[in-house]
Every structure is written in C-alpha cells, then in structure tokens.
C-alpha cells in the first residue's frame, strides 16, 4: 500500500448478504487491531451472482464468484478481497496471493427443513436418515449429491442456486422438501435455528476449505500483508492447505464431486486428511486418507509444505484408484 493510502484499506466483496457479513467481519477485526485504519467496502456483482438458471459446473464453477474481485485487486481499486475459501479456485492469477486463512468455523453441512412442515413429520425428522422415501432435496452441489446418493438412493435432487436468504425462501415456499447448506453460512447470517441437524462426516465430507474465510491481496503489497497477517490462523491454514493441495493435484475445480477434510488431533501432533471423489450418479465413491506428524514444531513455511505434500499424497491415492475417470464424467 502506498504511503498516501497508508490509513485506508479497501475490501472488494460481493453484494450478497453473506459476503457483506464476511467483509464487515474482517473489517471489524482489522479495526480492532489497527484503530488508526480506515476501511472501505467496494461491493460488486460477479458473473456467478448473475447466472442463476444453470448449474455452476456447466457455466465455469465457483471461480465465477471471485473473478471480478480479483480484477479489482489487480487494477488497484481494492487492496484485499475476502472470500469463502471453498469458492476460491485452486490456481490464483499471477500477481495475487492468499496469505491469510482465518480461524475455521463450522466446516460441516446442515440439513434444513421448511418452517412450515406436515405436523405428522415435524417432530420425527431429526437426522438425515429420517427423511421420508422420495423426498426432494435442494442442492446444486455434485459433492453433496453423490455422497447422499450412496446412503439414500431413493431421494430426489433438484438444483438450488441463489444466496442463503433466497434458498431458504424457496424451501419455505414449498419448492423443496429439504435443502442442504453449509452450516457456517447459516450461523454467520443468524439462521442457526434453521439447522435441523448437521450431516455426519461418514455421510457427508465437507467441501475443500468449507467454513474458512481467507484474504487475497497483491503479492507485492507487503504493507497490506503486514496489516492482515495477524488474522491468519496457523492450524486452520495447515488444514486448508492440505485440502486445497489435494484438490489442485486432482485438477478439481470448486464444483466437482470432490470432498476433503483435514484436521489436527487434540494433541496437535498429527494432521489427518480424508479425501473423497464420487461418480456424478452416486454409483461409486472413492475414499482415501493419510496423515503427517510433528508439524507444529516446524517453521511455518516448512509446515505448510508438509501439509501440501499430504494433500498431494492423498490425491495420488485417489487417482491410483480411478478418480480421474469419475471426474471426467462431469465434463461429459
């Protein structure tokens, strides 16, 4: 950041309620750290926000939600962009970096039922396995669909796009019997009471980096990087780095039937990663895992490199079992 802009930081953000919440959350945390700072929001609509009548996999994936924000960074209109990290493509544009992974919140998926339910069912559905046969579930995520079909091939799936508020409205208007959403987004927007249940990990492994906010900026803007660095969470960064490295090796975008979840054990001495690749029709689900030990005593750069290697190892295990053929189905 130039000296003339030393006290002003501009955050590029989408206009959706969740994106605004996330940008304001980061703004407030930065102001708490740097009271002398002035922070402005630059709001914009991305192509992903405008194309709501087609599955993301058919129109370019979730990278459509960040391109305009990255352009604003590159041309100097903004200093940072705040992202739901699961929306960030595996390869960043030249000149941009992702130096901050914030402390990860709830990484799991949630089942949400309509506000007004059949009185005979309202008190009986407390978990995903309770859904009646043939229920219509709203999701545009191939990852969610292929994993659910493994356990509940009787369910019907219907595309669901739009921001969190509009998805809930469609559910309550009777377009779906149930929908699946990321728990973190519901909590952040004050809809925690809409969560019927979290989906257990054996049923539904999260999307890569789900629940973690990240901050993107120019790679040569060392002043800005110094300002935002305190928001980086070491443990979350290790987990997300492993997951994204796995996805990158699989050459997977953000809207493919790939799931990945890494976490440190309670002792903090082992990072465990599980990865899944599924067939679009739910007929097959490949599962592989791996771990690496003694990360935290290492220098941060070394620890991140080890986490990347873990992700690549798990990806190679999946590829050895035929993951590429399943991923190729998405483009057919």
Question: Is 148 part of any domain?
Answer: yes
**Of 312 and 5, which is predicted with more confidence?**
312
What does the pLDDT read at residue 244?
Answer: 97
Q: Are 329 and 280 within 8 A, CB to CB?
A: yes
Q: Which domain holds residue 130?
A: 109-198
What does the pLDDT read at residue 47?
Answer: 58
* Residues 139 and 222 reside in one and the same domain: no
Residue 178 — φ and ψ, nearest 5°?
-160, 160
What does the pLDDT read at residue 5?
Answer: 43
Question: Is 203 part of any domain?
Answer: no
pLDDT band for position 332 (50/70/90)? low
Render pLDDT for 108-158 as a digit per residue (tens, 0 to 9): 999 999 987 554 455 688 999 999 999 999 998 999 999 999 999 999 999
* Residues 28 and 85 reside in one and the same domain: yes
Render pLDDT for 9-55 as a digit per residue (tens, 0 to 9): 999 999 999 999 999 999 999 999 999 999 999 999 765 554 444 44
Q: Which of 49, 79, 87, 109 is catalytic?
A: 87
* Residues 240 and 330 reside in one and the same domain: yes
Helix (H, G, I), strand (E, B), or coil: what is residue 308?
helix
Does position 296 have pLDDT exceeding 90, yes or no? no
Q: Strands 213-218 and 96-101, how do they pair?
A: antiparallel
87 catalytic per annotation: yes
Residues 6+ apart with CB under 8 A from 24: 41
Number of domains present in the structure of the chain: 3
Q: Are 265 and 292 within 8 A, CB to CB?
A: no
pLDDT cut 90: percent of the chain above it: 78
* Residues 170 and 309 reside in one and the same domain: no
pLDDT band for position 242 (50/70/90)? very high
Residues 6+ apart with CB under 8 A from 285: 146, 147, 150, 276, 277, 278, 279
Q: What is the CATH number of the domain that holds 45?
A: 3.40.190.10
Q: Strands across the sheet with 285-293, in order?
A: 258-264, 270-278, 285-293
* Residues 242 and 189 reside in one and the same domain: no
Q: Compute the average pLDDT of residues 297-310.
A: 94
Q: Compute the average pLDDT of residues 174-195.
A: 96
**323: part of which helix (H) or strand (E)?**
helix 323-328
Q: What is the CATH number of the domain that holds 307?
A: 3.30.160.40
**Of 46 and 181, which is predicted with more confidence?**
181
């Amino acid at each position: 950041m130039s000296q003339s802009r030393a006290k002003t930081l501009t955050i590029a953000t989408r206009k959706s309620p969740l994106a605004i919440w996330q940008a304001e959350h980061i703004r407030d945390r930065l102001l708490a750290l740097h009271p002398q700072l002035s922070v402005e929001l630059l709001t914009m609509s991305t192509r992903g926000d405008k194309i709501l009548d087609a599955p993301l996999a058919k129109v370019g994936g979730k990278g459509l939600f960040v391109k305009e924000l990255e352009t604003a960074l590159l041309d100097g209109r903004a200093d940072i962009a705040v992202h739901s990290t699961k929306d960030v493509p595996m390869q960043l544009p030249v000149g941009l970096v992702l130096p901050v992974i914030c402390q990860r919140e709830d990484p799991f998926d949630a089942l949400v039922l309509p506000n007004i339910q059949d009185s005979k069912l309202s008190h009986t559905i407390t978990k995903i396995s309770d859904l009646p046969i043939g229920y219509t579930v709203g999701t545009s995520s191939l990852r969610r669909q292929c994993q659910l079909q493994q356990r509940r091939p009787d369910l019907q799936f219907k595309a669901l796009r739009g921001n969190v508020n509009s998805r809930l409205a469609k559910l309550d208007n009777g377009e779906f019997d149930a929908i699946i959403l990321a728990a973190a987004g519901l909590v952040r927007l004050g809809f925690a009471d809409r969560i019927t249940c979290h989906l257990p990990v054996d049923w539904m492994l999260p999307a890569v980096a789900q629940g973690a906010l990240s901050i993107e900026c120019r790679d040569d803007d060392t002043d800005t990087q110094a300002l935002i660095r305190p928001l980086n969470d070491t443990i979350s960064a290790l987990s997300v780095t492993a997951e994204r490295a796995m996805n990158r090796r699989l050459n997977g975008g953000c809207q493919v039937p790939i799931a990945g979840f890494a976490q440190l054990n309670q002792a903090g001495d082992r990072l465990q990663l599980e990865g899944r690749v599924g067939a679009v029709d739910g007929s097959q689900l490949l599962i592989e895992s791996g771990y690496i030990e003694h990360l935290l005593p290492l220098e941060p750069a070394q620890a991140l490199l080890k986490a990347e290697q873990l992700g690549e190892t798990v990806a190679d295990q999946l590829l050895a079992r035929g993951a590429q053929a399943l991923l190729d189905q998405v483009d057919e």
